[in-house]
Structure 1
Amino acid sequence: MARAATTSDAFNAIAEPQRREILVLLRDGERPVTELARDLGMSQPQASKHLRVLREVGLVQVRGAGKQRLYGLDARGLRPIHEWVGGFERFWNETFDRLDDYVRDLKQARQEEPPDDDDQ
């Protein structure tokens, strides 16, 4: 069954590219909304709207610092995504292992081929 079009979980929240960009910026530490908006080339209300969604799904925390509100990454909220993506890691590892085996077999077959008359 398809997911409902909602931002009620981390998967849907990060489906929006600008929200992913916010998370990337917050990897380096806490930032005020004005700084995030400037760096992303959007208005402060737009950035605030994205931050609200990220906060509601547990990907961002906010704390007061004087007159500012600082937003920071809460990576614990990414755990379901990490676990889901991690399920594909075995697939990719097996795929690359098969590719390595194929390349190794191909090299070995080329080394075992008799030289062409043109090579002599």
Structure 2
Amino acid sequence: MRKYQGILFAALFCFAMLLLLAAGLWWYRPRRAEPVPGRVYESERMPENNAVLNPEPEVAEKQSGYCLTAEDGMLLIFDGASGEVCFQTHMPLSEFSVEEQEKLLEGVWFDTMTDVFHYLESFSS
């Protein structure tokens, strides 16, 4: 009989814990917030002047010509139409003045390859 009382007590204890767990989950369940009438929330505000001035998408024009830029301390010449490296010089960036180094890091555009070589010759002599 004592054995059955222990099993009954354990079953009642488990049942009570299960009820407490269910009550806790029910009590702390996520509730849906009801909007307050007449109140405007931040996500509902729109700017006063929201007219679209330019509805056509802007298409970036591909630059034709050649771009002289520096990567890994060396000068490279990129083709503007394809964007691929068309010539790799063996001139280090350190041979140029600080102002020219800043320009070369951003990229200097030229119309022809001859203009690029004239630019490089003016600094190599």
User: If the length of structure 1 is used for normalisation, what is the TM-score?
Assistant: 0.22
More strand by share: 2
Q: More helix per residue: 1 or 2?
A: 1
Q: TM-score, normalized by length of structure 2?
A: 0.22
Bigger radius of gyration among the two: 2
